[in-house]
Structure 1
Amino acid sequence: MHDLIETYLDRIAGLKSDETHKTFTSNMRQFEQWLNENDYDICNIEPLELEQYFIQMNNEGYAPNTVANRFESVRGFYQFLSDKLGAIEQSPVEDLKRSDYVQKGTKKHDHAELVYITPEEKELMCENVPTPTLRNELIIRLLWQTGVRKSELVEIEIEDIDREARSIDVWSNKTKEWRTVYYQPSLDLLMEQWIDGGYRSSYMPAEDSPYLFVTERSDQMSPKTVNRKIVRQAAENADIQEVMYTDNAGQKRYRITAHTLRHGHGVQALKSGIDVRTVQKHLGHAKLEMTMKYLQLVDSDVREGYRRFGTSADD
């Protein structure tokens, strides 16, 4: 991969979530392949030449969301070269409009893409976590009860936890803000066993680590480990995992991930009667509109429940 692209992706890794970094990496890999196929210089491409990339994706039948995501990745890359590195005088994307290449009304996040897991599925995952089982069950239950992002989970330090109040101060690299989340008494025993019962201290890196979760080799767990080796593996062990689709980059997209645990928390919180603004604050959503999407899912569940009720209830 080109050095400038790698530098750009390194910056994305420091600013965005692991999932966003993964998406940007895939997008930029596809873009670089197109540049090479057309013998374009990465720093000397003209706007009209670059426009052909987005037109070609439309002609090849790429989904509007895919085109939109790749447009944003490429635009961010050239803004980075221009504004941060000074490698080019002006971004070739500056005069291009995303709306010219993406169908009107297309949004980056569609309601249909909001997948969440149920309490029953969460319990199945907890019963089928990979080893070490105590640590990994605590991680899944903590993700479910707090709704924190996996990138936030791995940044939690022991001193951030008030075990008497059952609260955790969480720092978000996404919003650049602290917020406080809460967990339930049902986690007290797992938390005590992990921190005080010798489980965490049995890992050699734990002695000098401030972080709540460590591994055998590292003093801080990575978001990728949380998602792939714990959450997705637990779902596979429970036989409830499925591949939703394979994207245009050839990457499999799984139904159950760390983020669907977060969605599950949001939906369950609203079902429990917690008001939407409190849920927004707890999840760290910058905009209320994102939290409101969970209400749509709750409404869908209510409608489906009444349909089942209507077909099975006595007159």
Structure 2
Amino acid sequence: MWVFLTREWINRFVEYLQVEKNASVHTVDNYRRDIADFIKYIADNSIPSLKDITYLDIRNYLTKLHQLSYSRRTVARKISSLRSLYTFFVREEIVERNPFQMVSVPKAGKRLPTFFYENELAMLFDAVDASTPLGERNAAILELLYATGIRVSECVGLNMSDYDPEIGTLLVKGKGKKERYVPVGSYAMDALDQYLLHGRIRLSNGREEQALFLNYRGGRLTDRGVRKLLNKLVETASVTLKISPHILRHTFATHMLNEGADLRTVQELLGHSHLSSTQVYTHVTKDRLREVYRSAHPRA
């Protein structure tokens, strides 16, 4: 019986995330997985229901996560997800108190974002064969991700009406349904225009599709599709760095800051709500550090 009630509670919580918190699909999926893992744990340990969780149960769960070698970052996210769930339960008077309120979240070690150096990026661009419709699309995606720093979810969510070739801008729908305009560089505009004039027309097969980027069947390209095409480009380019669309976002931010862009501008372009999210990119390459040191220090 409690399993049925749990499913109902979780569905209400997900609706709360989507409607009141404007959580992204990716965020909601993470919450679902974290909660499902915890429900499995309490079922395996014969705990009657989510309402019967104690602080000791949570400590045992953390021990289990440690035994499974989860990273600090992952454990912190799982605890944050469950704390939010129980905060919602308290609000809805499903439980009287939040047992996760007193649980300290392990501090995640700060990792500098991985990014491409310019020579690595050049190899990646050279690996694109733009002689086919899919190749033209891939070239446009690669140029656009690097030129704008948009997230892959934002990229595949673009519609034809979001691109204004007259002034070279994109209307991007970001996290929390926030919208922002981002400029598109000349290289990306050239690749986009080539794709729209030739590749996209052939990929659409006469279908009316509002998506900017299409798959080989003429439908909207997915996040997974973008990751797959980028991995193929890495194999072709023989770049040893494991790529994800987010690395291109990191590269955009790093290169912008290294070339003198101010932090607030990069924050706006990336669509970050908080400046602290952008400050992680203020690391610079060793070459840039050496250059600044030599030009600024009197006895360099």
Q: Same fold (TM over 0.5)?
A: yes
Q: Does 1:270 align with 2:269?
A: no
Q: Does 1:194 align with 2:181?
A: no
Correspondent of 2:101 among 96, 102, 121: 96
1:210 — aligned with what? 210
1:166 — aligned with what? 168
Correspondent of 1:76 among 65, 84, 94: 84
Aligned partners of 1:263 and 1:303: how far apart in 2?
18
- Give the conservation status (yes or no) of the 8 Å contact 1:5–1:77: no
- Give the conservation status (yes or no) of the 8 Å contact 2:204–2:214: no
- Give the conservation status (yes or no) of the 8 Å contact 1:154–1:220: yes
Q: Which consecutive unaligned segments of at least 5 residues does structure 2 have?
A: 295-300
Aligned partners of 2:238 and 2:264: how far apart in 1?
35
- Give the conservation status (yes or no) of the 8 Å contact 1:203–1:215: yes
- Give the conservation status (yes or no) of the 8 Å contact 2:143–2:191: no
Report the CA distance shift for 1:5/1:90 in structure 2 as closer, same or farther (over 3 A). closer
Correspondent of 1:46 among 41, 49, 53: 53
> Which sits farther off after the overlay, 211-220 or 74-83?
74-83
CA drift at 1:134: 1.3
- Give the conservation status (yes or no) of the 8 Å contact 2:152–2:245: yes
Structure with greater Cα Rg: 2
- Give the conservation status (yes or no) of the 8 Å contact 1:209–1:219: yes
- Give the conservation status (yes or no) of the 8 Å contact 1:117–1:256: no
Aligned partners of 1:115 and 1:10: how far apart in 2?
34
Aligned partners of 2:243 and 2:254: how far apart in 1?
15
1:110-259 equivalent positions in 2, closer than 5 A: 110-129=109-128, 132-172=134-174, 174-197=175-198, 199-204=199-204, 207-217=207-217, 219-227=219-227, 229-242=228-241, 255-259=242-246
TM-score (norm 2): 0.78
Q: Once the two structures are superposed, what CA deviation does each residue of 1:194-214 show, in whole Å capped at 9, x if it has no partner? A: 1122x1122247732212111
Aligned partners of 1:11 and 1:136: how far apart in 2?
37
Report the CA distance shift for 1:6/1:256 in structure 2 as closer, same or farther (over 3 A). farther
- Give the conservation status (yes or no) of the 8 Å contact 1:160–1:170: yes
Report the CA distance shift for 1:212/1:80 in structure 2 as closer, same or farther (over 3 A). farther
* AA of the residue aligned to 2:149: G
Look up the SS of the partner of 1:298 in the other structure: coil
Percent identity of the aligned residues? 23
Aligned partners of 1:190 and 1:90: how far apart in 2?
55
2:274 — aligned with what? 287
Aligned partners of 1:98 and 1:217: how far apart in 2?
49
- Give the conservation status (yes or no) of the 8 Å contact 1:129–1:233: no
Aligned partners of 2:25 and 2:121: how far apart in 1?
23
CA drift at 1:17: 5.4
- Give the conservation status (yes or no) of the 8 Å contact 2:51–2:95: no
TM-score (norm 1): 0.75
> Which sits farther off after the overlay, 182-191 or 271-280?
182-191
Look up the SS of the partner of 1:192 in the other structure: helix
- Give the conservation status (yes or no) of the 8 Å contact 1:205–1:219: no
Report the CA distance shift for 1:71/1:4 in structure 2 as closer, same or farther (over 3 A). farther
2:73 — aligned with what? 65
Aligned partners of 1:93 and 1:72: how far apart in 2?
12
> Which sits farther off after the overlay, 272-281 or 7-16?
7-16
Look up the SS of the partner of 2:207 in the other structure: helix
2:298 — aligned with what? none
* AA of the residue aligned to 2:192: M
